[in-house]
Amino acid sequence: MRGKVMFVTGLGAGYVLGTRAGREKFDRMVAQARKFWESPTVQEAAGVVQAQATRLYGEGKQAVACQVHKMQKNGTAVTDTEEGWDTTVSRTQFPANSF
């Protein structure tokens, strides 16, 4: 998604820089973009996406903390190297949807 946004931004900048009426077209494009961004529908959607992202972040953080706590409680070493994860914790130890 980020790549698409960067591509469209680059495309828009190239268009503006390539036109002879540059500043006038640029001002119109900025006004249209601002009008689009400030529309209630877009703002509502942005709020919903932000709320979902915050919720998912909190759930993920809690799930990771819970798993780390379980591993420490069981006496399993917790390492931050990939080899340590593969040799210390069996992937079958966790249910498929535990994260």
Tally of domains within the chain = 1
**How would residue 92 be classed by pLDDT, with cut points 50, 70 and 90?**
low
* pLDDT value, residue 84: 47
pLDDT in tens, 30-78: 899 999 999 999 999 999 999 999 999 999 999 999 888 888 887 765 5
- The answer to whether position 61 is within a domain reads yes
Beta carbons within 10 angstroms of residue 44's beta carbon: 10
Give the pLDDT of residue 87.
47
pTM over 0.75, yes/no: no
Q: Is residue 95, in this structure, part of any structural domain at all? A: yes
- Judged against a pLDDT cut of 50, whether residue 82 lies above it is answered with no
**99 assigned to some structural domain:** yes
- One-letter-per-residue 3-state SS of the chain: CHHHHHHHHHHHHHHHHHCCCHHHHHHHHHHHHHHHHCCHHHHHHHHHHHHHHHHHHHHHHHHHHHHHHHHHHCCCCCCCCHHHHHHHCCHHHCCCCCC
In a domain, 25, yes or no: no
Residue listed under structure tokens 């009008």 = 35
Q: What pLDDT was estimated at residue 80?
A: 52
Q: What percent of the chain has pLDDT over 70?
A: 71
- Which domain covers residue 62, as residue numbers? 57-99
